[in-house]
Amino acid sequence: MSLEVKVPAVGESITEVTIAQWLKKDGDRVEMDEVIAELESDKATFELPAEGAGILRIVAQEGDTIEVGALLCRIEEDGAGSPAPASPAAEASAAPQASAASPASAPAVAQGGGETVDMVVPTVGESISEVTIASWLKNDGDRVEMDEVIAELESDKATFELPAEAAGTLQIVAQQGDTVEIGGLLCRIIAGAEAPASKPASQPGAPAAQQATVPAAASGYGGSQTYASGTPSPAAGKILSEKGINAADVQGTGRDGRITKEDAQSAQQAAAKPAAAPAPKQEATAASEAPAVSGDRNQRREKMSSLRKTVARRLVQVKNDTAMLTTFNEVDMKPIMDIRTKYKEKFKEKHEVGLGFMSFFTKACTVALQEWPAVNAQIDGNDMIFNDFCDISIAVSSPKGLVVPVIRNAESLSLDGIEKEVIRLAKKARDGKLSIEEMTGGTFTITNGGVFGSMMSTPIINAPQSAILGMHNIVQRPVAIDGQVEIRPMMYLALSYDHRIIDGRESVSFLVRVKELLEDPMRLLLGV
């Protein structure tokens, strides 16, 4: 029998994952609990173990983004495998008529003795109600094997492959380009039946109307061409039709040479150039007036990662759903820099960790958050939730994008304890090993754009939190100290906050308190 392996539930807020890589190939034998793939969510990377022993049949490909609960692969357990072809039925030629007359709701028995399996549109996601048949990879009347991919289905979110649910002769019901609802009939498979001998499986034997839709370059499957070569997907076909571009003039980069939506969009620009070209009599004049273009003008397209899509979606949501405002101040960093210069060697010798700026800023923020609790609160519907603890989120730039791990109960940690947590979480972020728990929650966020040279910015709130502190680069600037102009290492601070829950007095007072604690670090030790 065949065991279906689906995307597991990996967290309450995670609805989809991306297949980072398959560690086993299609057709390989796998053992129970053997890791066969790595899955990426917007928060972490997970390993996928095999749920049984047998032969692996991959359904979703590397780079695909699929929803939780969707099919990833099948494992043909020991003793299963693909069914062997049955002996030819005596009345196989009558089978198509018999199955067409049978109801679509239940398997029927063909005249030749084979069972007819109805294949319907599978459930591919909670919010997806219909799919479009992008292409049939097998022709009507062809023989198909169990789990062989016979069609590609497109939804508004992703493209899915449709595997055969039995071995036998394919009878196509819904045609390429049709939009079919979830549960709608796609095709029938007459199990155990052979393809009619009177109909060759090769393309030249297909009906003339069907051949007319295939570009001449793909006819006969010459070389590496298939029947899909040069055929546009429904979305691509619509774009080409609107722009009046012939599909035969477009080079397809999709599966088996299929023309994708991106190909059609690129083609519309290329095809528009000849139309906009000047008449032959004006060519010489136009050429003399147009500036010469030199250098490479290549473009490359990359699919957004699941993490990047989620970050983009959440940032836009925060801008739309909050009354975000930013207040600024500046800090004289000389007192902290003097402490670091004087004690950093002894500090590292004792605690085996360096004394950085982040520990001072984190400690100062926890003190100020306890004095101004609204900055540490959040809105939940019509309620305001105030936290007695300070879980500080630290924005970290990882190779896969921005992640925000959390330092739990930072208010109870010493400077060395904070530094050790920062280093531990940053290392796990760079290695892609952060867990869901390490990035869940957080009551206040600190982000340091200064490490990249930012002088001033307005950071965006990390929802559902209500405030975020932005650190910036340290610049030597002239400032007035006791009536005298001195050169001091200065840093701009920015506090973005949700004005729905934090008033101006609270936000400004919070930032002033942080400034006082940083410019006089002795206050952190004395608690004043």
Just list the catalytic residues: 499, 503
Residues 6+ apart with CB under 8 A from 319: 460
Enter the tokens of residue 64: 């695909």
Instruction: Report the amino acid identity of residue 289.
Output: E
Helix H or strand E segment including 22: strand 16-22
DSSP output for 152-220: EEE-SS-EEEEE-SSSEEEEE-SPTT-EEETT-EEEEEEETPPPPTTS-SSGGGS-HHHHHTS-GGGGG
Omega of the bond leading into 464 within 30 degrees of 0 (cis): yes
Q: How many angstroms from the chain centroid is the CA of residue 515? A: 39
CA angle in degrees (0–180, nearest 5) for 72-433-461: 100
* Residue 1 half-sphere exposure toward CB, CA atoms < 13 A: 3
The rounded distance, in Å, linking the Cα atoms of 364 and 370 is 10
CB-count burial class (<10 Å; 0-12, 13-18, 19+) for 66:
buried
Interhelix angle 415-430/357-371, nearest 10 degrees: 110
The rounded distance, in Å, linking the Cα atoms of 404 and 434 is 10
Q: How many angstroms from the chain centroid is the CA of residue 115? A: 41
* DSSP assigned state of 389: S
The rounded distance, in Å, linking the Cα atoms of 476 and 490 is 6
Q: Can you give the length of the chain in residues?
A: 528
Give the Cβ contact number of residue 445 at 10 Å: 23
